[in-house]
Amino acid sequence: MCGTCGCAGESTTGDSRTIVLQQKVLGKNDDIAEENREWLARRGVVMVNLMSSPGAGKTTLLERIARVLTPHVNICVIEGDQETALDADRIKAAGCAVVQINTGVGCHLDAEMVRRALNELDPAAGSLVVVENVGNLVCPALFDLGESSKIVLASVTEGGDKPLKYPHMFRQADVVLVTKIDLLPYVDFDLERYSADVLRISPRAELMALSAVTGEGMTRWCDWLTGCARRS
């Protein structure tokens, strides 16, 4: 578990210092997240938080979204990675304003990092800000960034056990995206069972299956995002 950010949770040894640290870190983060939320609301901007394990397809999906939606919605992206600006370069090439955050040894973005990125982006009224969080199915679920919606991606190539193995992440989700469904014929993935597991863990979550390569399912997903932007 992560010891650098205070999100190690309650240890089996009953170390009260760990619990106190976690409470202090998360409490401060939640205060800044609420300030971010108010800042976005004043500007008429909507922000969503995109979370997944590494390689689930977040950046490829964002590239596709950018090409479809940028004529209609101003999309700004906050890119979170431990190192490099590789993903930010791809998103910029797709036509979006983007700010890169490199976390070093950190395993997630936090509200303070996002606050600084928002100030740099300076999104116009009516914009949609998409946070591409660091690839990790544990720590990002603990940190409120000030977003209006949490979106979890899971690709069919990862296997169907992720909702059961990482339930906290999926409980936080407003939307669960099953990506890379063009590969379903080639992998052992039961979409019906996966859907049942997600809904058992998070009954309120909306589940969508799609492929950023073929475009299958993208219309519904883009309509959902456009609806978010219009609610700003």
Q: Which two tokens stand for residue 146?
A: 């000030």
CATH number of 16-230: 3.40.50.300
Q: What is the mean predicted confidence (pLDDT) over 10-27?
A: 62
Which residues, including other chains, have CB under 8 Å from residue 222's CB and lie 6 or more apart? 65, 68, 69
Interval 178-200: pLDDT, tens: 999 999 999 999 999 999 999 99
pTM above 0.85, yes or no: yes
The predicted pLDDT at position 231 comes to 78
Q: Which two tokens stand for residue 119?
A: 């100030």
